[in-house]
Structures are given as C-alpha cells and as structure tokens.
Amino acid sequence: MHPQTPCQSLTSRWDSGSGNFGKSSSLCEINQNKSNMRKIIIIYFLIFINVNCLSRTATLLKETPLKTFENNFSKIRIKIQNPEKHKLNIQFYIQDKESFEKNDSEFLPIYYFDESFKNDEISFSIPKGSYYGFLQITSKKNFPLYKSISGSNILYFGLNKDLKRNKIDYKICEKRMMNGSRFYEISNCNFINFEKEEISINYSLGNQLEFNLADSILKTWFSFSYAFLHGPQQYPYALFLIINVPFGFYSENLLISLDNLNNF
C-alpha cells in the first residue's frame, strides 16, 4: 500500500478545486505500470542469462528417448491452443531430486529441451524419476510497420525465481501474476515425479491484449536516439525505419495460461 500513498495525496490535492483528478490518477497509474514493466523486463533478462549458462552442462532431450533411458522414459507432450499461429519457444530444464538435494545452493540441470515451433503441439522424452526444474513457454509475433505481441508463462517445480530451492511446501500447485501484471503468469509446485508413460501439459493463448507502455517507449526511444542523436547520420529517417519496421512501433502483451496445473 505504501507505493500508492504519493499518488493518493497528489490526486486528493488536485481534486480539491481544479477538476483534474482523472489526469493525475492516470499519471500515477502510468508510472506504476512502467515500474512493474521494468521489474518484469529485469527478471526476464536475468532468466535469459541464467538459461544460456544452464545448457552448457546439460544433455539435450529429443522427441525420441535417448539410448541411456530408452527402456524407462516418460513422453512429455506440450499442447497449446494457438489459433493465430504465434511463434512459440519452450525451455525445459531439470535436475534429478537426489543430486539437487545434496547441494541445493546451485541448480545444475542434467537435461534440457529448447525448441521453437508454431504448431499446436510439441513433445520430448525424459527418463522417469523425480526432478527439480522449470518449464517456460514464450510467444512472439511481429507485424512489420505495426506492432509486436509477446507473452510468457513459467512453471517452477521445487525452485524459486532465483533457481534456488523453494522453501515453501505446496500442498497443490499455485499460480499467480508477476508484479501485478495481468499478462505474466507464474506457477509454483514442489518437485515433480515424472512416472507416467505420457504426460500432457496444456496451455492456451488468450484473445485479449494489453498495451505494453514501457516496452513501447524503450523500443521507440532506442531507435529514435540511435538514428537522430547518435552522431551525424546522412539519412536518420531511413535508419529509424530500418530499426522499427521489423518489430513494429509499439508492443502488446499476450496471456499464456497453464490450463491443467494440478492435473498432469
């Protein structure tokens, strides 16, 4: 509640006689949204750095089981309702329960799966067992000269956002929205036993979009400042368009929802 106090006092002063209550309230909402988006961007940047480091010591999984576990595996099937054919990416990293609990200060995945796709389904095989790790689904769709649409969903099992052991004992898996956003979903479970012959994890892409103010400002300011302020340019307008055309001039958020969190 404390971060809202300055906004509340500001609006109450303006409302006392100027009639500008709506304007100041909107300004506060914009500042709060920008703050939330900055936090989200920082978190995903840190996740991106961590993920790139994690794959160095892990074995890449495939749709068919690897020879080391071809007689004892679970098929993981990711199903996504994706009618607009957004480009999707899956990142799946796991470490066996026994080795992680011996040293839970560092997450050292032994298997991973990282793949981009546009279909409604993708699958891979893992050795049966109990694991700590995470599953992240991201989407991206660009409309040149117009806009870009993106979304993300993260499922942690036994880990927190810092990829450390989660001290919370979840009776059932729980989901929440990141930093007050309505379009960035995070789910938390305890470590997961992958013992079934086949496991289906179902997602859906929402049909509502949210304007991403912070990302739009960042994108436009970067291209504008580089084209017009980064030293003399012979054709600044052309450079501005070259930077902005592929990804559009503003951004929107798309909700990716995990539909069967406690039933896979």
Tokens describing residue 73:
């595996």
Question: Is residue 28 scored above 60 in pLDDT?
Answer: no
210 band by pLDDT with thresholds 50, 70 and 90: low
Q: Pick from 123, 144, 136: which is nearest to 199 by CA?
A: 123
Report the distance separating Cα 106 and Cα 60, nearest Å. Answer: 20
CB-CB contact of 138 with 73 (8 Å) = no
Q: Pick from 212, 230, 255: which is nearest to 34 by CA?
A: 212
Report the distance separating Cα 165 and Cα 8, nearest Å. Answer: 39
Q: What pLDDT is stored for residue 6 in this prediction?
A: 42
Report the distance separating Cα 230 and Cα 245, nearest Å. Answer: 19
67 found inside a domain = yes
CB-CB contact of 227 with 239 (8 Å) = yes
What SS3 class is residue 249? coil
- Where is pLDDT greater, at 62 or 149? 62
The beta strand positions in the chain, using DSSP E, are: 59-60, 73-81, 87-96, 111-117, 121-127, 129-143, 147-157, 174-177, 184-189, 192-194, 198-212, 250-258
Question: Is residue 238 scored above 50 in pLDDT?
Answer: no
Report the distance separating Cα 264 and Cα 262, nearest Å. Answer: 6
- Where is pLDDT greater, at 193 or 251? 193
Q: What average pLDDT does the segment 160-182 reach? A: 86
The residues that bridge with 193 in the sheet, in sequence order, are 130
Question: Is residue 132 scored above 70 in pLDDT?
Answer: yes
Q: What residues make up the domain containing 56?
A: 25-264
62 band by pLDDT with thresholds 50, 70 and 90: very high
Cα torsion for 243, 244, 247, 253, to the nearest 10°? 130
- Where is pLDDT greater, at 36 or 164? 164
16 found inside a domain = no
| Residues contacting residue 186 through CB under 8 Å, at least 6 positions apart | 153, 154, 155, 156, 161, 175, 176, 177, 178
17 found inside a domain = no
Q: What pLDDT is stored for residue 9 in this prediction?
A: 38
32 band by pLDDT with thresholds 50, 70 and 90: low
18 found inside a domain = no
Q: What pLDDT is stored for residue 219 in this prediction?
A: 52
6 found inside a domain = no
206 found inside a domain = yes
Q: Pick from 37, 68, 59: which is nearest to 184 by CA?
A: 37
15 found inside a domain = no
2 found inside a domain = no
Question: Is residue 34 scored above 80 in pLDDT?
Answer: no
Q: What pLDDT is stored for residue 179 in this prediction?
A: 67
Q: What pLDDT is stored for residue 173 in this prediction?
A: 94
Query: Would you tell me how many other CB atoms lie within 10 Å of the CB of residue 4?
Result: 10
Number of domains in the chain: 1
Query: Would you tell me how many other CB atoms lie within 10 Å of the CB of residue 102?
Result: 7
Which residue reads 């700590």 in tokens? 132
Tokens describing residue 10:
């500001």
User: Strand 121-127 to strand 174-177: parallel, antiparallel, or no bridges (unpaired)?
Assistant: unpaired
